[in-house]
Amino acid sequence: MKDNKVKLLIIGILLCIIYWPTFLWMKERFEWAGSYYSHGFIVPFIVAFLVWKKKEVFIGSVKPADAGLTMLIISLFIHVISYAWKIYFISGFSMIFTLAGLIVYLFGFRALKELWFPLSFLIFMIPLPILVIDNVSFKLKIFVAQVATHIINLLGIQAERQGSEVILQNTSLMIGSPCSGLRSLISLTALGSLYAYLVNLTNTRKMILFISSIPLALLSNIIRVVLLLWVARGWGSEAATGWFHDFSGLLVFVFAFLGLKITDNILSWKTETQNT
């Protein structure tokens, strides 16, 4: 047992050395002003906790498989090519497959089956390419501006949209990239996947719960923008872009979490109804 711990420690150190440039790239993206991945710092700790909960797979009936060595070689080759071309996004994904290969090689496919979610959760700490971020963010903020303008008009407040700017009677509000909802979409999708994994539901209902986190994140952000427009109409754009802007950002997560909880309760109620 002690030899295994030493072996794992050495492997861990080697992996850190091999993927060090990728880790530095991730850290830089996490710390950017207005980063979409500031949550990335806590992902490894969540993964470590989830793996610890499954620690019995490392001390049970371990059946190492040589296929893991093939997986390991392929993923490390992809990493080397990605590093040479400075495509760190792909290198980040190769790290996940490297870990999967190591698990199979040292502990077998049963261990990989038990640890598939913690490994998959690492995806949420790998930043998307900037080009993809900019493209998706632009489309989202136009969509949010359209829907929010329609809703605010239904509420009796006259408004019209010009691009991503919503023009009210006494002021206007620009829907910038931070209000596009992409940041909350990424974070809340991570939260939704973790929530779905931990709740006591069937796999099908877990998938439904996870998928529901996407429209819930979008809806929560639209509600936020509508509130910003309402504040801007009543107290001016400075109030909307000041303290209330930051406060409403927290409300997005409150609304989305409540939505997940309600969805979970509905799915759990249906499960209980079918069992009685």
Domain ranges of the chain: 2-32+41-124, 131-275
For residue 1, pLDDT over 60 is answered with: no
The pLDDT tens digits of the residues spanning 42-63 come to 999 999 999 999 988 887 667 8
Helix orientation angle between 88-107 and 20-30, rounded to the nearest 10 degrees: 130
For residue 104, pLDDT over 60 is answered with: yes
The pLDDT tens digits of the residues spanning 162-199 come to 989 999 988 888 888 878 889 999 999 999 999 999 99
For residue 4, pLDDT over 70 is answered with: no
Query: What pLDDT score does 44 carry?
Result: 96
Query: What pLDDT score does 270 carry?
Result: 60
Q: What average pLDDT does the chain have?
A: 90
For residue 13, pLDDT over 60 is answered with: yes
Q: What is the mean pLDDT of residues 19-41?
A: 93
In terms of pLDDT, which residue wins out, 150 or 7? 150
Q: What is the mean pLDDT of residues 214-222?
A: 94
Query: What pLDDT score does 129 carry?
Result: 94
Entry pTM: 0.91
Nearest-angstrom CA–CA distance, 102 and 176: 43
For residue 150, pLDDT over 80 is answered with: yes
173: how many CB neighbours lie within 10 A of its CB?
23
Q: What is the mean pLDDT of residues 220-241?
A: 88
Q: What is the mean pLDDT of residues 151-156?
A: 93
pLDDT-derived band at 276 (thresholds 50, 70, 90) equals low
Q: Is the Cβ–Cβ distance between 127 and 32 less than 8 Å?
A: no
Nearest-angstrom CA–CA distance, 243 and 250: 11
Query: What pLDDT score does 273 carry?
Result: 61
pLDDT-derived band at 275 (thresholds 50, 70, 90) equals low
Query: What pLDDT score does 244 carry?
Result: 84
Nearest-angstrom CA–CA distance, 249 and 34: 13
